[in-house]
Amino acid sequence: MAKPSSLAQYITLISILPDDLLLVIFQAVADDIYSTNEQLRLDCIALASVCRRWRSLALGTSRFWTRLHMVTRLGSLSREHLERNVTRSANALVDVVIYVARPPNPWGQAAWTLVFDGTKTCLKVLRECSHRWRSLKIINEEDNHSGLFGFVLSELGLPHAPALSEVEIVCHTSGWITSLRESFQFLSPTYTPSLKMLTLEGCDSNILPRHFDASSLTHISLNFLRQFSYIPTPNSLIAFRNFLSCARNLVSLKVHRRVFFVEHAKTDNELDPIMLPALQTLSIIMGTEKPAYLSSVLGTIAAPNLHHLAVHGDSLAWGEGSVIDFSSPAFFLRQDQTPKFPSVCKLTMKNMLQSMHGPGKNICSIFTALPHVTEVVLDHDIREIADQLVLESYNQIAPPLWPCLSRLTIEMPPMTKFHYLPQLSEWLRLRHASGLSLPAVIIRYGLQRAGAKEDVRDLIAVRKIVNDATGYRTSDTREVVKQLGKLGALVDLRVDSWTA
């Protein structure tokens, strides 16, 4: 009998909370309502169904109804539901999410008509409140080639969305592109004058209008797939350059693979880089792209105020003749050996130095080209960096490498060993002996065991995972940390669910 009474006690405590505190709790719940796919974890209607008081509070608070979620699936399309939420959101700005689901199987004519007609009706409701759009996210389900995605883009038409600041279009794919016959003309400063953030993932490059104006954008993430096209593709590197040429206000740029063909990067005439004076963060996610892809991106951009440079590659997939020579002017140094990006203070490099044919050439050029780095994030390729750091530290004539370094983060993916720790310890010892400050060292391990839970609180389990991931016995691992600690280095060993 104690258990029910205890539960009743908590219910009573909730019921006496003032309205403003209840609204704070409701807001926390509302922020977690929608997942990244079409599933709804909890609807605000559930809050409004508890009691009369909660219903009055929920229905009377417009910010709880500003997420207009639409799924193009039989049974999920409801014009009434969208209209009700549009009304309840009052005059507040709204976030629109459209999930384009795969059609039913078998895909009969009757189902086809119902889904397309329902989609058209719901999109009409959304268009009518486009003046209140704050963000727009369109997600195409993996390998959905029914034509619904293109239909959604065309039916959105050209509504005037003066408050729209963020557009994200994601086409989940396992290798087959979601091709488009027409560009998404909605992406135009005429209709979206306040657009600041644009994310295109897995899209056909034709989704962008031919003369897209990116002058208002501050954050761009591009991940094109260009294998198929209904329109003959011109030099894709030139198209990429033209895209950036008007993006003078860019603060953050993320370039994924296949934004342009590597073959198009081979131009007869040397082209001047595009000046991006406001750019502070540049991320290049290469995957298995050839090193020429990286050199073309870096050669296309001039960013005198760049603060964070991140490069992710897959050096194990590169051939012997493709190992990156970082001393080449195509990468981080100009012809006169001056740095291309002199203001970089944070460097992230992953899977860039390892290769079956040996480490990247002239690693020292990374230190020379980025002399003012204060924070570095590396992965298991640290072994090559560590070797070079130790060798250069013994050179009494050469200036110290990364003298301003204050934080070193090493992210270890599963199934890797960190045999670099002796070199790392030696480098820190030499650095300490030379009078330089020691950086904080953070070593993060990804969980290696398939059965390990995300929240590993058992100390024995933690030690076991550290042992598996590092190749050292627990006592040896503690000894390494102890030795580094004696040098005055702050070492933070973390075991969590991080993955590469």
- C-alpha dihedral (19, 25, 30, 33), degrees to nearest 10: -140
Provide the angle, in degrees to the nearest 10, between the axes of the packed helices 459-470 and 474-486: 80
Amino acid identity of residue 332, one-letter, is: F
What pLDDT, on the 0 to 100 scale, is given for residue 4? 53
Task: Give the residue among 296, 169, 161 at the shortest CA–CA distance from 220.
Answer: 169
- Structural contact between residues 119 and 144, judged by C-beta atoms closer than 8 angstroms: no
HSE value, Cβ hemisphere, 13 Å, CA-based, for 254: 14
What pLDDT, on the 0 to 100 scale, is given for residue 429? 79
Does this model's pTM top 0.85? My answer is: no
The Cα-based distances of 447 to 135, 412, 443 in angstroms read 35, 9, 13
Distance of alpha carbon 430 from alpha carbon 20, whole angstroms: 58
What pLDDT, on the 0 to 100 scale, is given for residue 11? 53
Task: Give the residue among 439, 417, 413 at the shortest CA–CA distance from 427.
Answer: 439
What pLDDT, on the 0 to 100 scale, is given for residue 491? 53
What pLDDT, on the 0 to 100 scale, is given for residue 197? 94
Ordered by start, the domain boundaries in the chain are 1-60, 374-500
- Structural contact between residues 449 and 497, judged by C-beta atoms closer than 8 angstroms: no
HSE value, Cβ hemisphere, 13 Å, CA-based, for 346: 11
Strands (E), 317-390: 346-350, 375-378
- Cis omega (within 30 of 0) for bond into 106: yes
The DSSP symbol for 225 reads E
The Cα-based distances of 27 to 2, 47, 166 in angstroms read 32, 11, 22
Strands (E), 153-251: 166-171, 197-204, 219-225
Terminal alpha carbon distance of the chain = 50
pLDDT tens digit at each of 500 positions of the chain = 445 555 555 555 666 777 777 777 777 666 655 544 444 444 566 667 677 787 777 777 777 788 888 888 877 778 888 888 888 888 889 999 999 887 776 666 777 888 888 899 999 999 999 999 999 999 988 777 778 888 888 888 777 889 999 999 988 776 555 666 666 777 777 788 889 999 988 877 777 777 778 888 999 998 876 544 444 456 778 878 888 888 889 999 999 888 887 776 665 556 788 999 999 999 999 888 888 888 889 988 999 999 999 999 887 777 767 777 787 777 888 777 788 888 999 999 988 877 666 666 677 788 888 889 999 998 877 767 777 777 777 777 777 778 888 888 887 765 556 666 677 777 777 887 888 888 877 777 654 444 444 433 344 444 444 444 444 444 545 555 565 556 555 555 554 433 33
